[in-house]
Amino acid sequence: LTSILIVEDDIYLQKLYEMMLKTQGFEIIGKAGNGSEAINIFKSLPNKPDIVLMDHRMPIKNGIDTTLELTRLNSNTKIIFISADNSVKKRALSIGVKCFIEKPFSIDQLNNEIKKVIENSKVVNN
Ligand SMILES: [Mg+2]
């Protein structure tokens, strides 16, 4: 089962992602409403998530700063960046996020991107 940590400050979107991803057979192991909370949850999880879904515009700590911190904590962290702010795409990809999804997007698109990231990491690990 692919485990996912959802980082999104919009509670409605957070719930929607959770519901849709569960339906697709993914396991949601945490939800955070800002970057600082995401880091605390990440640290507290005994088994780290296979995938982190990362929003950019959030209070307290944005997605870029949170990504930098998470990858410093665990360089194997696979982050999928999700933002309406296309201007941070280059920056996000340059700091190691696995893919950038522009809001709005379809659940099929998200589903496919998660599967792609998991498949690619298997190839690298083998
Ligand atoms: Mg946001």
85-108 pLDDT tens trace: 999 999 999 999 999 999 999 989
What is each CA distance from 114 to 40, 60, 61, in whole angstroms? 23, 26, 24
CA of 47 to the centre of ligand 1 (A): 26
CA of 123 to the centre of ligand 1 (A): 32
CA of 4 to the centre of ligand 1 (A): 18
Average pLDDT, the chain: 95
CA of 125 to the centre of ligand 1 (A): 32
pLDDT band, residue 121 (cuts 50/70/90):
confident
CA of 54 to the centre of ligand 1 (A): 9
Nearest-angstrom CA–CA distance, 27 and 44: 17
Find, among 71, 110, 63, 70, the residue nearest to 88 by Cα.
63
Predicted local confidence at residue 122, as pLDDT = 81
Q: Kindly state the percentage of the chain with pLDDT values over 90.
A: 92
Q: Which token pair is 7?
A: 């980082």
Predicted local confidence at residue 72, as pLDDT = 96
pLDDT tens string 13-34: 999 999 999 999 999 999 999 9
CA of 122 to the centre of ligand 1 (A): 30
CA of 74 to the centre of ligand 1 (A): 23
